[in-house]
Amino acid sequence: MTNQTLSAEKSTDQPIREVDSSATPCSPVVVSFGGGTNSAAMLIEMARREVIPDLILFADTGGELPATYQFVNDFSEWLGREGMPGIVTVSKDGPTLEEDCHNRQTLPSVAFGFKSCSDHYKLRPQNKYLKTWQPAIDAWSAAKQVVKLIGYDAGEAHRVKDYSDKKYITEYPLVRWGWNRKKCAEVVASAGFSPTKSACYFCPNHKKGEVLRMARENPSKFAKAIEIERGAVAAKTVSGLGRSWKWEDLVNADKMQMKLFDDVPDPMPCGCFD
């Protein structure tokens, strides 16, 4: 991304600081693309300003919903048409997160309050790829850093941390711009996209409404999530994928509640019609 920065144009409500203000000129810029609304909005705005990153990485856990994989493909094609680099998909060597849960008869670590699944299946595969990426190798050889752009929005400012070290500088453009989730959704919609929430289909962070929707719209994926939940005999400190509740119980209760409407008898005719 040579000398261009995202502060080249003040088109948002709040002043924008350079995304690579701490970097030396010609530091390579890498976008961590999460496959959802926020990072897509960030890239759309970068394309609009003709700020071209050197690399866009998507880390595939192997457990995304089909709609997310389709969006990654479609958005990568859009980026190409806009003169941006296509999305490079990376993944962890060995078992997928889903396979690991089955093998160890447990749930994703986030069910227990840990974030090792993100570390092992998102962060580490990207860093491993960058170790063999020539622009990064050249930058480090010249005592420069690689700039990582992460798509947390302004409503997630509490998640912003400075992970900068001798190799990397982390920047959060959406937070700098003051873009909240609503703004990001509007920008993505303006480009013709409506991505689903990017998360493993068996992620314990899904809300109850999202679990119910998955059961209706992606029954095969929901069934696989229940297989993980049923098989997690080693997860003794939590009840299920909902931590204090089971996804299976939630959906069964919803089905029973809806059945009550089916069992209500038709009212007696009032005689107004022949």
* pLDDT digits 0-9 by tens, 6-63: 543 434 433 333 454 445 557 999 999 999 999 999 999 999 999 999 999 999 999 9
pTM above 0.85, yes or no: no
pLDDT of residue 159: 86
pLDDT of residue 3: 35
pLDDT of residue 262: 59
- Residue range 118-153, pLDDT digits in tens: 999 999 999 999 999 999 999 999 999 999 999 999
Residue 106 has pLDDT above 50, yes or no: yes
Domain presence at residue 70: yes
Domain presence at residue 232: yes
Alpha-carbon distance 163 to 153, whole Å? 17
Chain mean position to CA 46: 19
Domain presence at residue 197: no
Amino acid letter, residue 121? Y
- The residue ranges of DSSP E strands in the chain, in sequence order, are 29-32, 55-59, 87-90, 146-150, 168-171
Helix (H, G, I), strand (E, B) or coil at 64: strand
Name the nearest CA neighbour of 203 among 230, 225, 223, 224.
225
Residues 35 and 163 in one domain: yes
User: What token pair was written down for 40?
Assistant: 């897509």
155, with CB counted inside 10 A (0-12, 13-18, 19+), is: middle
Residues 250 and 117 in one domain: no
How many separate domains does the chain show? 2
Domain presence at residue 10: no
pLDDT of residue 24: 53
On the CB side of 238, CA atoms within 13 Å amount to 22
Sign of CA dihedral 19, 23, 28, 32: negative
Residues 212 and 185 in one domain: no
- Residue range 233-270, pLDDT digits in tens: 999 999 999 999 999 999 999 999 876 755 555 554 44
Residue 221 has pLDDT above 90, yes or no: yes
Q: How much is the CA Rg of the chain, to the nearest whole Å?
A: 22
Domain presence at residue 23: no
Name the nearest CA neighbour of 105 among 227, 234, 238, 239.
234
Question: Could you tell me the residue range of the domain that residue 141 belongs to?
Answer: 29-190
Domain presence at residue 145: yes
Domain boundary among 156, 190, 224: 190
Torsion of the alpha carbons at 58, 243, 220 and 196, rounded to the nearest 10: -40
Residues 184 and 247 in one domain: no
Name the nearest CA neighbour of 227 among 248, 210, 209, 242.
248
pLDDT of residue 199: 92
Q: Which residue has the tokens 């873009």?
A: 179
Alpha-carbon distance 109 to 118, whole Å? 9
On the CB side of 138, CA atoms within 13 Å amount to 7
Domain presence at residue 216: yes
The domain that contains 165 carries what CATH number? 3.40.50.620
Domain presence at residue 203: no
- The residue ranges of DSSP E strands in 103-246, in sequence order, are 146-150, 168-171
- Residue range 155-211, pLDDT digits in tens: 998 888 887 899 999 999 999 999 999 999 999 999 999 998 889 999 999 999 999
Alpha-carbon distance 113 to 244, whole Å? 12
Alpha-carbon distance 181 to 160, whole Å? 15
pLDDT of residue 263: 56
Chain mean position to CA 160: 16
Residues 182 and 215 in one domain: no
pLDDT of residue 13: 38
User: What token pair was written down for 123?
Assistant: 């962060």
Alpha-carbon distance 183 to 135, whole Å? 33
